[in-house]
Structure 1
Amino acid sequence: MLVDLRKIKPYFFKYQTYAKGRWLGRKLIDVFNTEFRDRDNTFYERAIKDGRVKINGETVDKDYIIKNSDIVAHDIHRHEPPVANLPVKVVRIVDGVIIVDKPSSIPVHPSGRYRHNTVLHILSTEQGYKELYPVNRLDRLTSGLMIIALSVKKAREFEKMMQKCEIKKEYVCKVKGEFPSGVTECHQPIHVASFKLTLNTVQPDGKACSTIFERLRYDPESNTSIVLARPVTGRTHQIRVHLQWLGHPITNDPLYHNTEIWGARNGQGGITLEAEEELVKKLLAQTEAEDELDHALATSSLNSAGAADAGNTGSEHQKAEFCSICQLPSRADPEPEKRIMYLHAWKYQAKDWAFETELPDWARDAVFSCTAASAADQGADTIVPEPSIS
Structure 2
Amino acid sequence: FFESCPGHVGSRDTMKLVDLRDKDDDWDYDDACVEIRDGFRWILPYYKEHEFRVSNPQPGDTVAAVFRKKFNTARSVSKDIAKGKYRRVAIDGTDEAITDEYMPAEDGMVIRYSVHVHEPPVTADPIPIVYEDAHCIVINKPASIPSQVSPPFYRNSVLGVLCSQERSRAGQRLKFLSIIHRLDLPTSGILMIGKNNEAVTHLRQAMNGDGGSESELPTRKHYVARVKCNFPDDQITVNKRLWCKTDARRGAGEVRVRYLEDGEDPPPDHDWVKSARTMFRKIGYDAETGTSTVNCWLATGRTHQIRVHLLSLGYPIVNDPDYGWSASKKTKKSGIQECDMQKCADCGCSYIVNPLRLNMLYLHALSYGQWEGPDGRDEPCGCPEGCGRQDPAQGTYAFHCPPPPWL
TM-score, structure 1 as length reference: 0.69
Output the amino acid matched with 1:198.
Answer: V
* Greater RCO, CA 8 A, separation 6+: 2
Q: Does 1:122 align with 2:150?
A: no
For residues 79 and 307 of structure 2, the distance between their equivalents in structure 1, rounded to whole angstroms, comes to: 37
Change (3 A) 1:260 1:190: closer
Native 8 Å contact 1:124 1:130 kept in 2 = no
Equivalence map 1:274-313=2 (5 Å): 282-283=329-330
Instruction: Name the counterpart of 1:359.
Output: 403
The secondary structure found in structure 2 opposite 1:225 is strand
Native 8 Å contact 2:176 2:195 kept in 1 = yes
The secondary structure found in structure 2 opposite 1:161 is helix
The secondary structure found in structure 2 opposite 1:362 is coil
Instruction: Name the counterpart of 1:350.
Output: 370
Native 8 Å contact 2:130 2:400 kept in 1 = no
Change (3 A) 1:349 1:68: farther
The secondary structure found in structure 1 opposite 2:308 is helix
- Superimposed CA distance per residue, residues 271-319 of structure 1 (whole angstroms, 9 cap, x where no aligned partner): xxxxxxxxxxx53xx779xxxxx9xx87xxxxxxxxxxxxxxxxxxxxx
Offset, 1:212: 1.5
Q: Does 1:156 align with 2:156?
A: no
- Superimposed CA distance per residue, residues 49-69 of structure 1 (whole angstroms, 9 cap, x where no aligned partner): 444235766738545687887
For residues 256 and 99 of structure 1, the distance between their equivalents in structure 2, rounded to whole angstroms, comes to: 28
Please list every run of 5 or more consecutive structure 2 residues that lacks an aligned counterpart in the other structure: 1-35, 91-95, 167-172, 210-216, 267-272, 334-338, 372-395
The secondary structure found in structure 2 opposite 1:123 is helix
Identify the structure with the greater helix proportion.
1
Offset, 1:174: 0.5
Q: Which moved more, 1:70-79 or 1:169-178?
A: 70-79
CA RMSD, 1 decimal: 3.3
Q: Does 1:91 align with 2:134?
A: no
Output the amino acid matched with 2:256.
Answer: L
Structure 1 segments, 4+ long, off by >4 Å, are 17-21, 23-37, 54-58, 63-73
Native 8 Å contact 2:240 2:259 kept in 1 = yes
Instruction: Name the counterpart of 1:178.
Output: 230
The secondary structure found in structure 2 opposite 1:359 is coil
For residues 46 and 352 of structure 2, the distance between their equivalents in structure 1, rounded to whole angstroms, comes to: 16
Q: Which moved more, 1:193-202 or 1:170-179?
A: 193-202
Instruction: Name the counterpart of 1:379.
Output: none
Q: Does 1:137 align with 2:182?
A: yes
Q: Does 1:252 align with 2:319?
A: yes
Q: Which moved more, 1:125-134 or 1:221-230?
A: 125-134
Change (3 A) 1:176 1:17: farther
Instruction: Name the counterpart of 1:104.
Output: 143
Change (3 A) 1:134 1:24: farther
Change (3 A) 1:184 1:31: farther
Q: 2:78 aligns with which of 19, 39, 45?
A: 45
Output the amino acid matched with 1:209.
Answer: A
Equivalence map 1:216-255=2 (5 Å): 216-255=283-322
Offset, 1:186: 1.7
